[in-house]
C-alpha cells in the first residue's frame, strides 16, 4: 500500500499544500516548528480519522480558519485504481470522511483500511503515562485488525457512558432505580467480557513478536514481557458490578470493568517505567511499534505506512542503524521521515537503493528539493 499524493487546506500551520510522494522513502526537512511533524500527522489523520498529537479535531484547524481538509490518494496491491480519501471538518459541524467522494455510513467503517504506524519521540510516554494511554494504544491496534472488536468497543463505550450518566442522574435527583441500572448492566456485561477475552488473545499473539524485536534492537540480555492486567478473568462481572454499586453511586461513575484494565510493561520481571533506563525505555517503545507493524503487515497482507518523526535527533546510533537496516531489507513499505538536517539524512540513507524524495518544509510551506 502506498500514498501517492497528499493535499492539505488549513490543516494546523498550513494554508495549503500539495505533494506528490515517492512510493519508497519521503523525507521532510526543516527547522523545528516549521510543520514537518504536521505532515506526518496529516497522513495519520487520513488513516485513523484523528490526529496522533492533537486532543481534538478542532485543534487541527489552522488558527483563524473555520474548516480544514486533508485528502490523499492511496494505491492498494489489490486494486488498479487509486482510493481517494478525504477528511474534513467545518466549525460547528460533524467531521466528514469520504471514500472516492462517497461518505461512509459510519466513520468507524474506515478504521483499518489504510494502516499506519508512527514512531515518534513521544512513544516513551506510553511507558511513563497512565493506563488509559496504553489501553487506547492496544485498542487501536486490535480495532484495525478486527472490525468486530471495534464494534464491541464502540458498544461498550456507549453503554458505559449511559451508565455513568444514569449514576450522575441518581445523585442529582437523590433517587435510585435498580431495575433501570440492571437493564444497562445486562448489555454491558457480555460486551465487557468479550473485550477482555479478545485483549488476552491478542497479547498472546503480540508478545513473542515484540520480544524478538526488542532483542534485535537492544542487543541485550534482559528479558522483556507484556502483562495484561484486568479485574475480570476468573470473576463474575455481574457480581463485581453489584459489589461496587455503592461506590459507583457515590463517585457517579462505573469503577470496575475493562475500561479500567492496564497493560504492564516488564523487564526482568520489574516495571520498565520504574526500573528501565532511558535507553531501555526507548528500545522497549520502538520494539512495541515494530511488533505493531509486523502484526499489521502480516494480517492485512500489505505493509502499513511507516512514519518516523525526528529519529535522528532523538535516538542513538544503534537504534537508528537497526531501523535503517530494516528499511534496507525491505521490511517496511513506504516510509515518511522528518529531520532538521538534509546532510545528516542523506548520509544515513546513502546506502539505500530505494527511490528517495526530499521536501523542504519552511513555516507552513513545503516544496520538493
Q: How far apart are CA 322 and CA 306, in angstroms?
A: 15
Q: Is 26 annotated in some ligand binding site?
A: no
277 SS3 class: coil
Long-range (24+ apart) CB contacts under 8 A made by 288-292 are: 288/123, 288/126, 288/210, 289/117, 289/118, 289/119, 289/123, 290/210, 290/213, 290/217, 290/326, 291/206, 291/209, 291/210, 291/212, 291/213, 292/117, 292/141
Q: Is 333 annotated in some ligand binding site?
A: no
CA distances from residue 362 to 37, 121, 210, 214 in whole angstroms, order as listed: 12, 21, 37, 36
191 SS3 class: helix
Q: Is 101 annotated in some ligand binding site?
A: no
Q: Is 32 annotated in some ligand binding site?
A: yes
Contact in structure between 10 and 62 (CB atoms under 8 Å)? yes
Q: How far apart are CA 68 and CA 13, in angstroms?
A: 11
Q: Is 35 annotated in some ligand binding site?
A: yes
Q: Burial level of 127, CB count in 10 A (0-12/13-18/19+)?
A: buried
Cβ atoms within 10 Å, residue 176? 13
Copy the grid coordinates of residue 120.
515518534
Q: Is 33 annotated in some ligand binding site?
A: yes
Q: Which residues pair with 338 in a beta bridge?
A: 28
Q: Is 34 annotated in some ligand binding site?
A: yes
Q: How far apart are CA 361 and CA 364, in angstroms?
A: 7
Q: Is 279 annotated in some ligand binding site?
A: no
Residue set of the binding site for ATP: 30-37
Residue set of the binding site: 30-37
Amino acid at each position: 500500500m502506498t500514498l501517492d499524493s497528499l493535499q492539505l487546506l488549513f490543516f494546523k500551520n498550513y494554508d495549503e499544500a500539495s505533494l506528490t510522494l515517492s512510493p519508497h522513502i519521503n523525507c521532510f526537512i526543516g527547522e523545528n516548528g516549521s510543520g514537518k511533524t504536521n505532515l506526518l500527522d496529516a497522513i495519520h489523520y487520513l488513516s485513523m480519522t484523528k490526529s496522533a498529537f492533537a486532543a481534538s479535531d478542532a485543534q487541527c484547524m489552522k488558527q483563524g480558519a473555520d474548516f480544514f481538509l486533508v485528502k490523499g490518494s492511496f494505491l492498494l496491491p489489490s486494486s488498479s485504481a487509486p482510493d481517494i480519501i478525504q477528511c474534513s471538518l467545518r466549525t460547528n459541524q460533524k467531521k466528514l470522511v469520504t471514500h472516492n467522494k462517497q461518505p461512509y455510513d459510519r466513520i468507524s467503517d474506515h478504521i483499518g483500511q489504510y494502516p499506519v504506524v508512527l514512531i515518534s519521540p513521544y512513544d516513551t510516554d506510553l511507558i511513563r503515562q497512565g493506563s488509559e494511554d496504553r489501553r487506547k494504544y492496544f485498542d487501536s491496534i486490535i480495532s484495525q485488525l478486527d472490525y468486530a472488536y471495534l464494534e464491541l468497543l464502540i458498544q461498550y463505550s456507549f453503554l458505559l457512558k449511559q451508565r455513568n450518566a444514569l449514576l450522575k442522574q441518581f445523585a442529582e435527583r437523590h433517587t435510585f432505580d435498580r431495575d433501570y441500572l440492571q437493564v444497562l448492566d445486562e448489555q454491558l456485561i457480555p460486551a465487557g467480557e468479550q473485550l477482555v477475552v479478545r485483549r488476552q488473545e491478542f497479547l498472546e499473539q503480540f508478545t513473542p513478536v515484540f520480544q524478538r524485536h526488542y532483542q534485535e534492537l537492544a542487543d541485550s540480555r534482559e528479558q522483556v514481557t507484556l502483562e495484561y492486567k484486568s479485574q475480570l478473568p476468573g470473576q463474575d462481572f455481574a457480581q463485581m458490578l453489584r459489589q461496587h454499586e455503592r461506590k459507583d453511586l457515590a463517585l457517579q461513575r462505573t469503577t470496575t470493568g475493562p475500561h479500567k484494565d492496564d497493560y504492564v510493561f516488564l523487564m526482568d520481571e520489574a516495571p520498565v517505567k520504574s526500573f528501565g533506563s532511558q535507553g531501555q525505555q526507548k528500545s522497549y517503545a520502538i520494539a512495541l511499534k515494530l511488533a505493531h507493524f509486523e502484526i499489521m503487515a502480516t494480517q492485512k497482507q500489505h505493509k502499513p505506512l511507516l512514519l518516523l518523526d525526528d529519529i535522528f535527533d532523538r535516538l542513538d546510533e544503534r537504534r537508528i542503524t537497526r531501523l535503517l537496516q530494516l528499511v534496507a531489507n525491505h521490511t517496511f513499505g513506504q516510509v515518511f521521515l522528518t529531520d532538521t538536517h538534509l546532510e545528516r539524512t542523506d548520509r544515513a540513507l546513502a546506502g539505500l537503493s530505494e527511490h528517495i524524495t526530499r521536501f523542504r518544509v519552511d513555516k507552513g510551506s513545503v516544496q520538493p528539493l
